[in-house]
Amino acid sequence: MSTPLILILLTLLAGLAMPFGALIANIEHIKADWLEAEFRHGVIAFGGGALLSAIALVLVPEGIQHLNVYASSLFFIAGGFVFMTVDIILDKFKTSASQLLAMLSDFIPESLALGATFAINESGAFLLAILIALQNTPEGFNAFRELKDSSSMSASKLIVSFSLMAMLGPIAGLSGYFWLTSYPQIVAAIMLFAAGGIMYSVFQDIAPQVPLQKHWAPPIGAVFGFVLGLIGFMLTTGN
């Protein structure tokens, strides 16, 4: 199988985690109050743990190899501020698609970084694809619930729309692979930018949704999410 085809499949599978999360949210026989409690919060925490592992084990370690400390810090902080600006704009417009736009604002730069990473570190790219999928599942879950409650679109149309959005992954991934292979500094900047944005998202959107009074199980999902990334990292690096 050719390398571009493998990359297309990786980014597509990572993107299809969005409609998969929507499918989970559309399971009607699960009671709504239970979704709001242990299950929903556990899924969100798991995604948060996976995201932190992507930052700590893939994006930052790979990024800082090609940039000095000042540039690394600048791009990381820039990612956080850009994602914060997007959050502020979405809040001002009071759009019902805020979760959806936030999901895409994560997925597209991450897919660019995935394509660029694949050109220099295939094992790291496989791990990153898994972690992106783990992130997209709870984000697809939340975005579906938000749109289902605030729009007239049917569940099937929403899921099909999410599936079409997954096609943005291969487009961004191939762009990163073919155009950025010879520019490791740009690849590093994208990784650190995405890492800063993801860090902002974890503490702005994900972590605040995890706690429940008199419930202690959901936060352990973050531990499992991170350790899954740790296992993947150690397997792909031979540690």
Segment 130-173, tens digit of pLDDT: 878 877 887 788 788 778 877 778 889 999 999 999 999 999 99
3-class DSSP string for the chain: CCHHHHHHHHHHHHHHHHHHHHHHHCCCCCCHHHHHHHHHHHHHHHHHHHHHHHHHHHHHHHHCCCCCHHHHHHHHHHHHHHHHHHHHHHHHHCCCCHHHHHHHHHHHHHHHHHHHHHHHCHHHHHHHHHHHHHHHHHHHHHHHHHHHHHCCCCHHHHHHHHHHHCCHHHHHHHHHHHHHCCCHHHHHHHHHHHHHHHHHHHHHHHHHHCCECCECCCCHHHHHHHHHHHHHHHHHHCC
**pLDDT, mean over the chain:** 78
Partners of 215 in the beta sheet? 212
Mean pLDDT confidence for 5-33 = 83
Place of tokens 């501020």: 81
How many other C-beta atoms can be found within 10 angstroms of the C-beta atom of residue 78?
15
What tens digit of pLDDT does each residue of 60-107 get? 887 888 889 999 999 999 988 988 888 788 777 766 566 677 678 778
State both tokens at 220: 């352990």
Mean pLDDT confidence for 179-202 = 82
Mean pLDDT confidence for 29-40 = 59
Higher pLDDT, 155 or 53: 155
pLDDT reported for residue 191: 81
Q: How far apart are CA 220 and CA 218, in angstroms?
A: 5
Q: Identify whether the C-beta of residue 134 lies closer than 8 Å to the C-beta of residue 228.
A: yes
Confidence band (pLDDT; 50, 70, 90) for 38?
low
State both tokens at 169: 């992954």
Higher pLDDT, 35 or 164: 164
pLDDT reported for residue 163: 94
Question: Of 56, 99, 84, nearest to 192 (Cα)?
Answer: 56
Confidence band (pLDDT; 50, 70, 90) for 221?
low
How many other C-beta atoms can be found within 10 angstroms of the C-beta atom of residue 160?
14
| Highest-confidence segment of 128-137, 167-176, 217-226 | 167-176
pLDDT reported for residue 12: 94
pLDDT reported for residue 73: 92
Whether the pLDDT of residue 36 is over 60: the answer is no
